[in-house]
Amino acid sequence: MNLVRTAMLLAFMTALFMVVGFMIGGRGGMMIAFLVAAGMNFFSYWNSDRMVLSAYRAQEIDERNAPEFFAIIRDLARNAGLPMPKVYLYDSPQPNAFATGRNPQNAAVAASTGLLSALSPEEVAGVMAHELAHVQNRDTLTMTITATLAGAISMLGNFAFFFGGHRENNNNPLGFVGVLLAMIVAPLAAMLVQMAISRTREYSADRRGAEICGNPLWLASALGKIARGASEIPNYDAERNPATAHMFIINPLTGAGMDNLFSTHPNTENRIAALQEMAHGATNASTPAPPAANPMRKSRSVPDAGLSRGGSQPPKGPWS
């Protein structure tokens, strides 16, 4: 199902890219756009993760330079039955995180320095479990390729203004109207595709992430803190690369929460409410759930989830 979804997404984005080329340069422009889109799809499949990590100047870390954070990722990956991903940190005071990579065997997770400063280890575990859920659901390929193609479509829309708006273009069957459509409609359509994917994907990753870390309230608490941080602290790299906004656990763009209609993410309060309901159901379940293959409560890096204590405050962790 994920393979079919990815193929449909690539087909739609490629077709949109070709339509923009047709609006700018007629059939010749459409063929050029098709060749460019095909090349970008191939390049994005193999390199989009490196492009995104490079855009945020993320640095790979290991257990020597970030032992506690690395141990949390290792335990979560084991609990989810995933290969150990590469782990990155990027320098930003805004608390946030994202995952990338074409498959679980070539995945990477990245967190901001602000995330580790603002959140407890339990909340960090909830956030990174969410990102590993994206890896397990194979959302990361869709996310990275969508970001690359959406950025390219927006760039092509800007290109239409300079290349098609200042001279007579006999190859453009729609004339200046076609240029306007390429400038406005195409980037908007690409943005709508991103939003449609992101909104449904986030709820699924929230639920699976809560299962991986063992306590939905850890992620619920983290989402509230990250949302507040994202609204107060700008991420200048994200502002320069808005096509990557849907990859983050919370939209990193300034003012992102002002317009629910055009938000790349579901409403944070709704996500928190769903997680709280999940925790309430787990606490009051008449039949206890079977233990996970590698329960998080046995990890030295992530404390007991606390569900057996009726959802009380989680114990202090190594950051406290």
pLDDT in tens, the chain (320 residues): 555 766 676 677 777 777 777 766 667 777 777 777 777 767 767 877 888 899 999 999 999 999 999 999 999 999 999 999 999 999 999 999 999 988 999 999 999 999 999 999 999 999 999 999 999 998 887 776 766 666 667 666 666 656 554 445 445 555 556 566 666 666 666 666 666 666 678 899 999 999 999 999 999 999 999 999 999 999 999 998 887 888 899 999 875 544 444 566 888 999 999 999 999 987 765 445 444 444 444 344 554 443 333 333 433 333 43
In a domain, 279, yes or no: yes
The label of the residue with tokens 């925790």 reads: 279
In a domain, 25, yes or no: yes
In a domain, 319, yes or no: no
In a domain, 320, yes or no: no
State the catalytic residue, choosing from 60, 122, 123, 131: 131
Q: Quote the tokens at residue 75.
A: 């335990």
**DSSP structural state of residue 250:** S
In a domain, 62, yes or no: yes
In a domain, 318, yes or no: no
Strand intervals (E) in 10-143: 59-61, 86-90, 97-100, 108-112
Give, in order, the Cα–Cα distances in Å from 42 to each of 18, 94, 176, 201: 16, 32, 32, 24
When computed from its CA atoms, the radius of gyration of the chain, rounded to whole angstroms, is 21
Domain with 101 in it: 2-304
**DSSP structural state of residue 248:** B
Based on the residue annotation, tell me whether 232 is a catalytic residue of this protein.
Answer: no
Tens digit of each residue's pLDDT (9 = 90 or more) over 159-194: 665 655 444 544 555 555 656 666 666 666 666 666
In a domain, 206, yes or no: yes
| Alpha carbons 226 and 127: distance in angstroms, whole number | 10
The total domain count for the chain is 1
Q: How buried is 68 (Cβ within 10 angstroms: 0-12 exposed, 13-18 middle, 19+ buried)? A: middle
In a domain, 103, yes or no: yes
Any alpha helices (H) in 233-309, and if so which ranges?
Answer: 236-240, 268-283
